[in-house]
Amino acid sequence: MKIKEIKVNEKESKYSIIIGDKSIQLISSKIKKVCPDTKKICLVVDRNIPSKFRNILVKQLKKYDLHVVVLNPNEKLKSFQNVSKLSEKLLSLNFNRSDLIISFGGGVIGDFSGFVASILKRGINFINIPSTLLAQVDAAVGGKTGVNSKFGKNLLGSFYLPKIVIIDVSLIKSLSRRELITGYAEILKHAIIFSKKFYNWLEKNSNKLLIEKNNNYLQYAIHKSCKIKLFFVGGDFKEKNKRMNLNFGHTFAHAIESTNNYSSRIKHGEAVLIGMVMATKLSKMVKITSDKTLQNILNLYKKYNLNYDLKKYFKKNKYNKIISFMSSDKKNKDQKINFVLLKRIGKTAKPGNFNYSVKFIKKNFLSLI
Ligand SMILES: NC(=O)c1ccc[n+]([C@@H]2O[C@H](COP(=O)([O-])OP(=O)(O)OC[C@H]3O[C@@H](n4cnc5c(N)ncnc54)[C@H](O)[C@@H]3O)[C@@H](O)[C@H]2O)c1
């Protein structure tokens, strides 16, 4: 398989995302290029990645003064206390700005170690090797890092760009179906909001991703998906409305996850799958999209056994709690709930203009699920 490369040109820095099979084997040659002065490396590893991959990296990095930190990735890891612990360990080892932190894990490890890299001596080199599909198409793209606070998720963080992102599609083989679905939901979202052509491809080929975990198809889908996310997060940071498109389905999804106290009973991607159908039903209700669009999406869900049934997760008496979480979303305006709606597959309605009252959502909630 030929390696694909996306060159990202941000004002702050330029970096590449490379995508391929066994691409982690390129790590040492890439470091020489993008961090030529690095002497010490801290490799932060997700303990659930099969050890053969970690061994490949350790072997590749043997010429460096290498410190391997193996961590258990759960949301509790993303705390200020743990940031302080790792930072102090690296300070005690005399890590300098020219040295390097490599994240090798899913979004939890990436957010956590990226944040440490961004504050250590005001920013040391960072390389991200995302190991879950969600991290490969979402968390490792766009430069957001961060940890949680007792006031909420991801409230302490920074924008910090890596020197390179290395996506190895062979890491996906060991992911469970639920973890795969979590990443797939974001891939599907990227297609729905931006590309009918990519959506049609997914409609035809999703079994190659979800069942066969075929490397060539994974590479294609990850590459497309990263490019779409980069389109929405790139350019002017102040262009908030453009970035907001990525929130399609997420107003519902975040409220569902909050109502569920972020327990693993509902994963983020599962909530996004539910949220995208609800947002499409709302789009139809307010006459922004057609029934044909909704049926098209529902058919794809049916074909690939994707669950969007809120009733499977919550009793009716929890619906008001979901709405109440939606009404406290930080993206709201004038006490109305803000939604990203869909015009047709591949095109959202201009975000920022669709705000509905709690009363309206309460009245129509049952028609949205
Ligand atoms: N920075 C961003 O822009 C951004 C965007 C989306 C999500 N996030 C964050 O990402 C996190 C979720 O990321 P995630 O879904 O990757 O979860 P995760 O990091 O918890 O990983 C999910 C599970 O998969 C396991 N795993 C990782 N790689 C594996 C592999 N190759 N084989 C087998 N198992 C493997 C992990 O150990 C974990 O149990 C959340 O904290 C979320 O806030 C950040």
Distance, CA 6 to ligand 1 centroid (Å)? 22
Distance, CA 144 to ligand 1 centroid (Å)? 14
Helix (H) or strand (E) run with residue 358 in it = helix 358-368
Distance, CA 244 to ligand 1 centroid (Å)? 22
Quick one: tokens of 119? 């504050």
Q: What is the pLDDT of residue 12?
A: 76
Range(s) for CATH 3.40.50.1970 in the chain?
4-174
In contact, 345 and 196? CB cutoff 8 Å: yes
User: Which residue, judged by its Cα, is nearest atom 10 of ligand 1?
Assistant: 107
- Ligand 1 surroundings by CB, under 6 angstroms: 46, 48-49, 73, 75, 78, 105-109, 111, 131-132, 134-135, 138-139, 142, 144, 153-154, 171, 174-175, 179, 182
Helix (H) or strand (E) run with residue 7 in it = strand 4-9
Pocket test of ligand 1: the residue of 48, 75, 104 to mutate, having most ligand atoms within 8 Å of its CB, is: 48
**Alpha-carbon span 258 to 202, nearest angstrom:** 29
Name the CA dihedral angle for 118, 120, 25, 161, rounded to a multiple of 10 degrees: 20
Pocket test of ligand 1: the residue of 75, 134, 155, 230 to mutate, having most ligand atoms within 8 Å of its CB, is: 134
Distance, CA 105 to ligand 1 centroid (Å)? 7
Instruction: Give ∠ CA 291-281-294 in degrees, rounded to 5.
Output: 35
Distances (CA, A) of 278 to 252, 281, 285, 304: 7, 5, 10, 18
DSSP string, 72-137: --SGGGSSHHHHHHHHHHHHHTT--TTSEEEEEESHHHHHHHHHHHHHGGG--EEEEEE-SHHIII
Range(s) for CATH 1.20.1090.10 in the chain?
177-368
Distance, CA 191 to ligand 1 centroid (Å)? 21
User: Which residue, judged by its Cα, is nearest atom 7 of ligand 1?
Assistant: 139
Atom of ligand 1 nearest to the CA of 50: 32
Beta bridge partners, 333, equal 336
User: Which residue, judged by its Cα, is nearest atom 13 of ligand 1?
Assistant: 107
Q: What is the pLDDT of residue 299?
A: 97
CATH match for 177-368 among 3.40.630.30, 3.60.21.10, 1.20.1090.10, 3.50.50.60: 1.20.1090.10
Distance, CA 135 to ligand 1 centroid (Å)? 6
User: Which residue, judged by its Cα, is nearest atom 5 of ligand 1?
Assistant: 139
Beta bridge partners, 166, equal 18
Atom of ligand 1 nearest to the CA of 153: 43
Beta bridge partners, 338, equal 355
Distance, CA 366 to ligand 1 centroid (Å)? 32
Q: What is the pLDDT of residue 242?
A: 85
Helix (H) or strand (E) run with residue 154 in it = strand 152-159
CA 290, 296, 301, 302 dihedral sign is positive
Q: What is the pLDDT of residue 1?
A: 84
**Alpha-carbon span 206 to 363, nearest angstrom:** 35
Name the CA dihedral angle for 280, 282, 285, 289, rounded to a multiple of 10 degrees: -30
Atom of ligand 1 nearest to the CA of 157: 1
Beta bridge partners, 17, equal 6, 165
Distance, CA 369 to ligand 1 centroid (Å)? 27
Beta bridge partners, 42, equal 67, 101
pTM of the model: 0.95
**Alpha-carbon span 123 to 108, nearest angstrom:** 19
Q: What is the pLDDT of residue 333?
A: 67
Owner of token pair 């979480």: 325
Distance, CA 167 to ligand 1 centroid (Å)? 14
In contact, 262 and 75? CB cutoff 8 Å: yes
CATH placement of domain 4-174: 3.40.50.1970
Atom of ligand 1 nearest to the CA of 111: 1
Pocket test of ligand 1: the residue of 55, 104, 111 to mutate, having most ligand atoms within 8 Å of its CB, is: 111
Q: What is the pLDDT of residue 48?
A: 97
Closest CA to 146 of 246, 252, 91, 75: 75
Atom of ligand 1 nearest to the CA of 48: 37
pLDDT tens, per residue, the chain with 369 residues: 899 999 998 877 899 999 999 999 999 999 999 999 999 999 999 999 999 999 999 999 999 999 999 999 988 999 999 999 999 999 999 999 999 999 999 999 999 999 999 999 999 999 999 999 999 999 999 999 999 988 888 889 999 999 999 999 999 999 999 999 999 999 999 999 999 999 999 999 999 999 999 999 999 999 999 999 999 998 655 556 788 999 999 999 999 999 998 888 899 999 999 999 999 999 999 999 999 999 999 999 999 999 889 999 998 989 999 998 988 776 666 678 989 999 999 999 988 889 899 999 999 999 999
User: Which residue, judged by its Cα, is nearest atom 44 of ligand 1?
Assistant: 139
